């Protein structure tokens, strides 16, 4: 039978081991710094977040990992002075060491029985902010829907009169004037086509959905792309073959990925080793609140279109899914807005991560929750959509 002191030491060791297991199980990065701001502990999530092992992290002070003058350093000092927990929200700790777009909420607390020691927990805001932006994109799309419905009524009718008058004038016009009447009819037709594209946004009817094999969709998009706009571009796949079906409309999903593939191919115009990668994965843990309901919808299916082009300009990255936002000289800025609308109609979200040589459009969608046997054996090679005429 162990002595009382030995039993007590064993209990302490067991307690420390359990505490480490609990901290390592947390999905958020946790650091503990001592009175000199030296990192004394890092959990597994912190190793991944800071791209270093715990043994490496504990070699340096906190200011080695956060930018110079970071609010995190001030927060640590405030916790020591107040001897109480303090939180700081939307803190940008981006740096070349840990990467771009590292915006976090920081929760700081003093450590009991360790004077001057402070525990920091970082909660990345990336997904929350992107979902917030996604809801903003949907609001912008609804605004365009109302505008499109109004334009269709107010513009198409007078345009038909203008076009008809130009055709009548053409019958009695001279050769020189006939060129002008043809210009009028051609421009009237062009405006009608623009209005027709915008009318897509005013279609708020429920979409017809069924279980869809997303890999069949992506292979169809790949064939269309390789036979047209991406003929000289390498297209690769990184598929998870065990994915369940997505609950969606096959033709609209084809249109979504065609838009994204065409955008990627145009961005790769001056890239010598141009490549587009389609990838699929299962990402549990992503849930989205549904307006007017207490239910949260799970979005476990992740589909990405990645290219190694120059990237999306910083000045439009936050607005890239808004209507009329484009970097193209002759672009209408409706392609990605349409993609966002279709994804939103499917109950999903789309986001864009971009840096030089790596731009990723990531779509999160719900899985089909029916019987597996109802999907097996269906013909998944149905008719698809045509390549988009114009993108954002």
341-387 pLDDT per residue, tens: 888 888 888 888 888 889 999 999 888 876 443 433 333 333 333 34
List CB contacts of 216: < 8 A, sequence separation 6 or more. 380, 381
pLDDT band for position 303 (50/70/90)?
A: very high
Residue 384 domain-assigned?
no
**Do residues 224 and 139 both lie within one domain?**
no
Mean pLDDT, rounded, for 126-139: 57
| Span 72-92, pLDDT tens digits | 999 999 999 988 899 888 888
Mean pLDDT, rounded, for 88-99: 80
| Span 223-236, pLDDT tens digits | 989 988 888 999 99
**Do residues 94 and 166 both lie within one domain?**
no
CA 332 to chain CA mean position, Å: 21
Number of compact structural domains in the chain = 3
Residue 104 domain-assigned?
yes
The CATH number linked to 300 is 3.30.565.10
**Do residues 329 and 194 both lie within one domain?**
no
Q: Which of 161, 186, 202 is the last residue of a domain?
A: 202
**Do residues 224 and 371 both lie within one domain?**
yes
H-type alpha helices, the chain: 4-25, 44-49, 54-57, 71-82, 126-172, 175-199, 214-226, 250-267, 314-317, 335-345, 372-375
pLDDT at 67: 83
**Do residues 12 and 62 both lie within one domain?**
yes
Q: Which of 202, 220, 251 is the last residue of a domain?
A: 202
Please give the share of the chain, as a percent, with pLDDT higher than 90: 23
pLDDT at 217: 94
Mean pLDDT, rounded, for 321-341: 69
Whether 69 and 92 have beta carbons less than 8 Å apart is answered as no
- Per the structure, the complete domain to which residue 366 belongs is given by 210-375
**Do residues 214 and 307 both lie within one domain?**
yes
| Spatial CA neighbour of 247 closest among 217, 283, 285, 202 | 217
**Do residues 83 and 133 both lie within one domain?**
no
pLDDT at 373: 37
pLDDT at 88: 85
Residue 135 domain-assigned?
yes
**Do residues 106 and 79 both lie within one domain?**
yes
Residue 392 domain-assigned?
no
**Do residues 64 and 100 both lie within one domain?**
yes
Mean pLDDT, rounded, for 46-67: 88
**Do residues 260 and 358 both lie within one domain?**
yes
Please give the share of the chain, as a percent, with pLDDT higher than 70: 73
**Do residues 90 and 196 both lie within one domain?**
no
């Amino acid at each position: 039978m162990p002595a009382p002191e030995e039993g007590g030491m064993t209990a302490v060791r067991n307690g420390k081991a359990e505490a480490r297991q609990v901290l390592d199980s947390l999905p958020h990065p946790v650091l503990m710094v001592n009175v000199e701001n030296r990192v004394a502990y890092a959990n597994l999530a912190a190793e991944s977040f800071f791209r270093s092992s715990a043994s490496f992290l504990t070699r340096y002070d906190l200011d080695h990992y956060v930018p110079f003058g970071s609010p995190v350093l001030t927060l640590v000092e405030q916790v020591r002075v107040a001897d109480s927990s303090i939180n700081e929200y939307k803190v940008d700790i981006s740096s070349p060491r840990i990467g771009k777009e590292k915006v976090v909420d920081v929760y700081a607390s003093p450590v009991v029985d360790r004077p001057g020691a402070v525990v920091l927990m970082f909660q990345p805001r990336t997904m929350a902010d992107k979902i917030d932006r996604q809801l903003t994109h949907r609001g912008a799309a609804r605004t365009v829907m109302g505008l499109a419905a109004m334009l269709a009524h107010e513009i198409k009718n007078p345009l038909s009169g203008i076009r008809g008058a130009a055709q009548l004038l053409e019958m009695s016009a001279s050769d020189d004037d006939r060129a002008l009447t043809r210009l009028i009819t051609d421009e009237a037709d062009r405006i009608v086509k623009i209005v027709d594209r915008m009318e897509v946004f005013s279609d708020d009817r429920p979409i017809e959905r069924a279980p869809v094999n997303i890999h069949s969709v992506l292979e169809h998009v790949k064939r269309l792309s390789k036979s047209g706009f991406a003929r000289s571009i390498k297209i690769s796949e990184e598929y998870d073959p065990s994915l369940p079906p997505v609950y969606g409309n096959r033709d609209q999903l084809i249109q979504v990925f065609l838009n994204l593939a065409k955008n990627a191919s145009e961005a790769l115009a001056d890239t010598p080793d141009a490549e587009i990668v389609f990838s699929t994965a299962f990402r549990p843990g992503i849930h989205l609140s549904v307006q007017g309901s207490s239910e949260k919808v799970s979005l476990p299916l992740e589909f990405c279109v990645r290219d190694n082009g120059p990237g999306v300009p910083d000045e439009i990255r936050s607005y890239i899914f808004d209507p009329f936002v484009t970097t193209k000289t002759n672009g209408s800025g409706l392609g990605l807005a349409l993609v966002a609308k279709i994804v939103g109609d499917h109950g999903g979200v789309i986001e864009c991560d971009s840096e030089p040589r790596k731009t990723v459009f990531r779509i999160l969608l719900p899985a089909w929750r029916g019987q597996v046997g109802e999907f097996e054996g269906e013909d998944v090679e149905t008719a698809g959509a045509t390549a988009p005429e114009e993108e954002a």
